[in-house]
Amino acid sequence: MYDFSYSRASSSDEAISKHGASDDARYLAGGMTLIPVLKQRLDQPSDVVDLGDLEDLRGITEDSGAIVVKAMTTHHQVHSSELVKSRIPALADLAGTIGDPMVRNRGTIGGSLANNDPAASYPSAVLALNATINTDKRSIPADEFFTGMFDTALEEGELIVAVSFPIPEQAGYKHFPNPASRYPIVGSFVAKTSDGVRVAITGAGACAYRQTEFEEAWADGNLDPDKIKDIKISDEGLNSDIHASAEYRAHLINVMTRRAIG
């Protein structure tokens, strides 16, 4: 029988200390990913450090032209936040599409980003909005954070504490949902800021990535969907499974991106 040591932390410092004192620990946020993984014996940590009591890692504020979402904030809280709705409505919309009510009320933004599932929705928002992931050690730019399937720039024991989303001039998100899980087979987040237009895709590849062909087509800042309508996306390197072929995902990338700003 597989066993591990479980403990609850009462502060961020205590969580980091417990993790550092363990041989091979994992942080437990909402548990929407880690608990199923543990039940299936796909991961066998020596210790699990529960972050559920860390109220200092919950909340949403506005600071210096950005919306700051702390790591233990749930998807439902992001979706229902009047501040997010008023400043980045596309982010609130995205949060409302994640999973089902149980997932949205338990899952956290920090846990989602740390896990970096290929079908996670938040990574597309992080990339398109050029967000910054703040940890207990440093601040990581969006373009440097997602490194591969279930892989990020986080170091061993590094804890996400907040995500800072610059407020865009215009943004939109749309995804084509898996009919069972509701997670995106392909999702697209489009954001226009004073620095230009960024387009990020999730669900199609090993992890979220920027679709530069669309960004170049919208370089003048005019988000006319007809400008990208005839751009053909290569299916090379895209995911292919029982839900959708790589070729179909390539088609959906264009469709979802036009719908995101339509």
pLDDT tens, residue by residue, 6-50: 999 999 999 999 999 999 999 999 998 888 888 888 889 999 999
Residue 136 has pLDDT above 90, yes or no: yes
pLDDT tens, residue by residue, 40-99: 888 899 999 999 999 999 999 999 999 999 999 999 999 999 999 999 999 999 999 999
In this prediction, residues 191-204 reach a mean pLDDT of 96
The domain 58-261: what is its CATH number? 3.30.465.10
**Comma-separated ranges of CATH 3.30.43.10 domains in the chain:** 5-50
3-state secondary structure of 183: coil
Q: Taking a C-beta distance cutoff of 8 angstroms, is the pair 70, 58 a contact? A: yes
Considering Cα of 77, then 64, then 174, then 237, what sign does the dihedral take? negative
**Comma-separated ranges of CATH 3.30.465.10 domains in the chain:** 58-261
CA 30 to chain centre: 14
For residue 154, the 8-state DSSP code is: P
* Torsion from C-alpha of 41, 42, 43, 48, nearest 10 degrees: -60
The tokens describing 160, both together, are 């996400």
Q: Which fold has domain 5-50?
A: 3.30.43
Contacts within 8 Å (CB) and 24+ apart, 151-155? 151/116, 151/207, 152/113, 152/114, 152/116, 154/114
**pTM tops 0.85:** yes
